[in-house]
Amino acid sequence: MSNYGWLRTLLFFVIVFTVQSTVGEWLQILGIGPDFVVIFVVSVALRFGAATGCLWGFLAGFTQDVYAPVEWLGANSIAMTIVGFAVGQLEERFLTLNLPAKVGVLGLAFFVNDMFYFLITGLEKDVVTTLFVTKTVPECLYTLVIGGILFYLSSGKKANV
Amino acid sequence: MLRAFRFIVDLFTQRHGVVAFAFFLVLGILLREASTQVRESVVESALSTVFYPVQLLASSINDFKNLQAENDHLKAENARLRQETYHASEGLQELARLHTLVRFDDKWDYPIVTSRVVGHNPGRFLTTLVINRGTYHGVKDNMPVMSMNGLVGKISKAMMTHSRVQLLVDPNLKLSVLERRTRVVGFLESMDGHLLSAMIPSHAGVAEGDTLITSGLGGIFPKGIPVGTVRSVRKADLDVMSLMDVEPFQEFSTLEEVFVMQKEPDWIIQELLDE
C-alpha cells in the first residue's frame, strides 16, 4: 500500500465511524441497523490483503472497544483482527470475486466476528442464543443488503475508471 | 528512517500476513489480560486524544439533522408549557404548604449539570456514552445521569473536560429498583448489553405495564427516578422470584443531552467503592 493509500484508508476509516454513529442510527428499523465497520474491514482486507486487513481490523475493533465496558476491552480488537486476517486470504490481487461471492464473504465475516466476540466476552449460552436470534441474524441480513449495494457501486466505479 | 519503516512493513506482510496477525492478536490478548487500571488508562488516553475530534464531528452531524425536528417540538412544547405555567404556580404554592406540614425531605435537591452527548460506541452494542462535561464542571465518578424521560446510567469515569457514562444496559451495572404500584424492591440488570431485565419477588404480583423507579437503596441513585416499564413477566430459576423484561423510558441510542445529578455516593458506599 502506498503512502497515499494509507492516508486514503485512514480518511475512509474516519468517515466509516462517523457514518456508523450518524447514518447507522438513522437507518435503524426496530433497533436493527447495518454494521458499516464490518463492511469497512472486509473491503480493506479484500482490497489490500491479510496484513493490512489485520491492521485495520485491529484499529476498528479497538475503536469499538474504547466505548464498550472496560472489562471487555480487547474483545472487539481480537474478533476484528481475526476477520481481517481471514478475509485477507481472499485478496483481490490473486482472486477475482464477483458480487455474490463478496456478499457471501461479508456474511461469513459478520458471523465469525460475532461468534468470536461472544466467545471472548464469556457471555452465557442462553444470552448468546438470544443475541444471535435477535441481533446477529437480522443485523447480518441488513448489513448484507447495504454491503451489497456499496460493493456494487464501488465495482461500477472501478469499471468506469 | 524510511528504510526502517519499509523493513517493518515488509516484515508484517510476510507469509500472507501471518506475522501481522500474530502481532495484533497478541496485542489484543494483552489488552484482555491487562489489569483494570491499565485498561482504564488505555481507554482514557484514547478517548481524550485520538477519538475526541471524531466524536465531536459525529455529534455535530447528528445535532444538525435533529435541529429542525427539535425546533418544531420545542415550539409546540413552549405553547403547552405556557398554558401549564398558570396551573403549576398555584400547585407549587399548595405543594410548598404541604411540604412544610409533613417535613418532606426534598430528595432531588441536587444541582444538575447539563451536558451534550459527544460520543458513543460505533459498534452494535451500545453500553457507554461520552459527554462533554468533566471534573472541571463538577462532575465526579458515580454521579447519576438522567434524561428528561428517565434514568440513563451513572458516570463511570470523569475526566477533565469530558466523562464516560455507564448506561443501564451495561452488564456491569446492577441497580436496585422499586415497583411503583406494589412498592416491592427488586434489582435490575442487563445480561447481554442489549436488553434490561428485573428480578422481583413473585408474591408482589408485578404485572405487565407496571412502572419501575429507583429504590434509593445502594447509595448511588436517589429514590424515585423513573427507570422503565415491565414488558413481560416470567418465572425465574427460583420460584419465589419473577424475571421481567423491562422497556427503559429512555432510548439510549437517540440521546443528545443528559443531566448529571451532582449527588455523590453515600459515604459508606464511597468507602466500599474506594476499596
Q: Which residue has the higher pLDDT, B274 or B76?
A: B76
pLDDT at A130 over 60: yes
Give the C-alpha separation, B118 to B249, whole Å.
21
| DSSP H or E segment with residue A145 | helix A137-160
- Long-range (24+ apart) CB contacts under 8 A made by B186-189 are B186/B212, B188/B212, B188/B227, B188/B246
- pLDDT per residue as tens digits for the range A68-96: 777 788 889 999 999 999 998 887 666 67
Angle at B137 between CA B131 and CA B139, to 5 degrees: 65
- pLDDT per residue as tens digits for the range B6-20: 666 666 666 667 888
pTM of the predicted model as reported, rounded to 2 decimal places = 0.66
Q: Where are the domains of chain B?
A: 2-48, 175-250
- pLDDT per residue as tens digits for the range A20-72: 877 777 788 888 888 899 999 999 998 888 888 999 999 999 988 888 777 78
* The pLDDT of residue A138: 92
Please judge whether B47 and A66 are an interchain contact, meaning their C-beta atoms are less than 8 angstroms apart.
yes
pLDDT at B107 over 60: no
Confidence class for position A158, pLDDT limits 50, 70, 90: low
Confidence class for position A110, pLDDT limits 50, 70, 90: very high
| DSSP H or E segment with residue B27 | helix B18-33
pLDDT at B250 over 90: no
Please judge whether A53 and B170 are an interchain contact, meaning their C-beta atoms are less than 8 angstroms apart.
no
Distance from CA of B52 to the nearest CA of A (A): 11
Q: Which CATH number does the domain B175-250 belong to among 2.130.10.30, 2.40.30.60, 3.30.70.20, 2.40.10.350?
A: 2.40.10.350
Name residue A122's amino acid: G
Model ipTM value: 0.82
Distance from CA of A9 to the nearest CA of B (A): 15
Please judge whether A123 and B51 are an interchain contact, meaning their C-beta atoms are less than 8 angstroms apart.
no
Please judge whether A58 and B27 are an interchain contact, meaning their C-beta atoms are less than 8 angstroms apart.
yes
Confidence class for position B2, pLDDT limits 50, 70, 90: low
What percentage of residues in chain B have a pLDDT greater than 70?
85
* The pLDDT of residue B236: 75
Asked if A34 and A146 count as a contact pair (C-beta separation under 8 A), the reply is: yes
Question: B58 to each of A18, A63, B122, how far by Cα in Å?
Answer: 5, 14, 10
Please judge whether B194 and A134 are an interchain contact, meaning their C-beta atoms are less than 8 angstroms apart.
yes
In chain A, what residues touch B29 (CB-CB under 8 Å)? 74, 78
A56 touches chain B (CB under 8 A): no
A43 touches chain B (CB under 8 A): no
For B65-115, give the DSSP string: HHHHHHHHHHHHHHHHHHHHHHHHHHHHHHHHHHHHHHT---TT---EEEE
**Distance in Å from the first CA to the final CA of chain B:** 48
* The pLDDT of residue A57: 93
In chain A, what residues touch B19 (CB-CB under 8 Å)? 51
Which residues in chain A (76-135) have CB-CB distances under 8 A to chain B?
76-78, 81-82, 85, 88-89, 120, 123-124, 127, 130-131, 134-135
The mean pLDDT value for B192-214 works out to 85
Please judge whether A49 and B36 are an interchain contact, meaning their C-beta atoms are less than 8 angstroms apart.
no
